[in-house]
Amino acid sequence: MNRLEEIQRRRTFAIISHPDAGKTTLTEKFLLFGGAIQTAGAVKSNKIKKSATSDFMEIEKQRGISVSTSVMGFEYGGCRVNILDTPGHKDFAEDTYRTLTAVDSVILVVDAAKGVEEQTEKLMSVCRMRNTPVIVFINKMDREGQDPFDLLDELETKLNIHTTPLTWPISKGATFKGVYNLYRKKLNLFAPNKTGISDDVKAFEDLNDPALDGLLQERYANQLREEAELAQLHPEFTVAAYQAGDIAPVFFGSALNNFGVQELLDTFVEIAPSPRQRETNKSIVKPEDQKLSGFVFKIHANLDPNHRDRIAFMRVCSGVFERNTFYFHPRLKKKFRFSTPIMFQANERSNVDFAYPGDVVGLYDTGNFKIGDSLTEGESFFFKGIPAFSPELFRMVENKDPFKTKQFEKGLKQLTDEGVAQLFVQQPGNRKIIGTVGELQFDVIQHRLLHEYGAQVTFQGLSYVKACWVRSEDEVALEKFFRYRGDHLAYDKDNQPVYFADSIWMLERAIEDNPKLRFDFSSDLILTEEV
């Protein structure tokens, strides 16, 4: 298979949702149907009886939630499918937002009972900013929930998107019996299966087949016929409108019981976009371009605590990545060679010789990469749109054991390089301040510093309510501001000045009193050459 054919068969997407909508369960069922795993675990009541495949960190197993993005791949329907399973909890949204820069499409999971929730709206707004194609999977139809037509209306109203259903549920709650495939005009009936794939499937091409009345009961068969007819009054689905981000196809089902999962997966590999072009600070990079380029969107230390490894996850954007080949690191202006690049299949990793646009490659790293770094075949450019966000919670972090200073410094640097939180240094005193968007991140940092680096830390609360980057072309105005507000200034790990505000009123005053300064609440990651 040639390079262009390999590119066309890639499908790289993120699964996103509000917490507990069933995102990780759906991910596992995709792996199950793709043959990457043989049995699926289940996450129930926020406790993991059998840890979900994509939740590998110890703290994730304890809490039953995903706190970092997992990267997994498998073959299905002639396509190479790359899944990025993201954290659902709002405290880890920044990791999800960065992950969305590395995918070509998204599957948004919605709880049938709860409908559109706060985090669902925020995630969808990020997708809309990039015109990312979105498929909606309305999950947990086997539980009592909202009417399907009401759910479609809510999606359109709250998410400001046009929807069209491609499958339709047969009843809901305790009497839920499966889904009818509106897109293919086909119905597959089988018994629910939480850990495997049912092989006893009864297929129907015609909803008017009298045999349905016996299998579904006449009441539910007639209900399906009526609702399926009404559902088709929604706007006609076209692949072009979906890929342009103008319409979101909707699927119904129960990921836990496998209902609707195969219908979703079969349609996804057919309609989802292959790798798309990416914008850099110099030009547009197209996947079919000959020369290799890619960017690091995630860094994770200690995926395997026994080996203390650190892996940079790189999305390949053009060309072909080859093992043992030297590539150029524009920020460091150095060349690097990778002898053991890896890819992930479920929770297994394997060495890879080649990777194509759309693939995510794990590169063993000794501290050379930051989130947002690029690799090229000699060109010096950076990919745009990889965000850093202004934190809202701040705590000073202190090392409790002076004999563990080296481990403390190393752990803090690696964890903040991963994007778990942001690190600021304030003078005098070299005070280290952790900034996050949620309380849970502090727990993760404390847990990982202790269990992965042997460093015990305490946090001291700070009264700041907001931090923002301060920039200006007027160096005199910038220096004056630093002189008068020095006690509220710190520097991030890229040595960029950051202003800490005690209150929103103080922040507004600072902005009003300093018109020559720019106060940024979010920013593309600043990637300058190392001096």
Q: Which of 6-20, 78-92, 159-173, 273-287 has the lowest mean pLDDT?
A: 78-92
Q: Is the pLDDT of residue 88 over 70?
A: no
Q: What value does the mean pLDDT take over residues 518-523?
A: 78
Tokens of 74: 């498998």
Task: Give the separation between CA 507 and CA 498, rounded to whole angstroms.
Answer: 12
The model's pLDDT over 187-218, given as tens digits with 9 standing for 90+, comes to: 999 888 888 888 788 889 999 999 999 888 99
pLDDT at residue 48, as a whole number: 34
pLDDT at residue 43, as a whole number: 36
For residues 91 and 225, the model is more confident at: 225
Task: Give the separation between CA 232 and CA 182, rounded to whole angstroms.
Answer: 8
Q: Where are the domains of the chain?
A: 3-271, 278-376, 387-524
Q: Are 295 and 321 in contact (CB under 8 A)?
A: no
The model's pLDDT over 219-272, given as tens digits with 9 standing for 90+, comes to: 999 999 999 999 988 989 999 999 999 999 999 999 999 999 999 999 999 999
pLDDT at residue 100, as a whole number: 86
Q: Which of 112-116, 124-128, 150-154, 501-505 has the lowest mean pLDDT?
A: 124-128
CATH class held by domain 3-271: alpha beta
Alpha carbon distances (Å) from 114 to 90, 93, 144, 154, 359:
16, 20, 10, 11, 34
Alpha carbon distances (Å) from 227 to 72, 137, 256:
37, 18, 24
Look at the domain 278-376 and name its fold.
Rossmann fold (3.40.50)
Local confidence band at 87 (pLDDT 50, 70, 90 cut-offs): low
Task: Give the separation between CA 168 and CA 58, rounded to whole angstroms.
Answer: 38
The model's pLDDT over 428-462, given as tens digits with 9 standing for 90+, comes to: 888 999 988 778 788 888 988 998 889 999 999 99
Element (DSSP H or E) covering residue 243: helix 239-243
Which positions ≥6 away from 385 have C-beta within 8 Å?
Answer: 101, 130, 279, 524
Q: Is the pLDDT of residue 527 over 70?
A: no
Position 469, amino acid = W
pLDDT at residue 93, as a whole number: 60
CA 155 to chain centre: 20
Q: What value does the mean pLDDT take over residues 362-376?
A: 90
Beta bridge mates, 468? 499
pLDDT at residue 18, as a whole number: 85
Q: What is the DSSP string of 126-145?
A: HHHHHT--EEEEEE-TTSS-
Average pLDDT, the chain: 86
Asked if the domains 278-376 and 387-524 are classified in one and the same CATH topology, the answer is: no
Percent of the chain scored above 90 by pLDDT?
Answer: 58
Task: Give the separation between CA 297 and CA 86, rounded to whole angstroms.
Answer: 13
Architecture of domain 387-524: 2-Layer Sandwich (3.30)
Reference 297, options 355, 359, 380; nearest CA is: 359
Q: Is the pLDDT of residue 63 over 80?
A: no
Q: Is the pLDDT of residue 20 over 90?
A: no
Residue whose token pair is 């939180």: 421
Q: Are 458 and 389 in contact (CB under 8 A)?
A: no
Number of H helices and E strands in the chain, helices first, is: 14, 35
Q: What is the DSSP string of 73-133?
A: EEEETTEEEEEEEPP-SGGGHHHHHHHGGG-SEEEEEEETTTBS-HHHHHHHHHHHHHT--
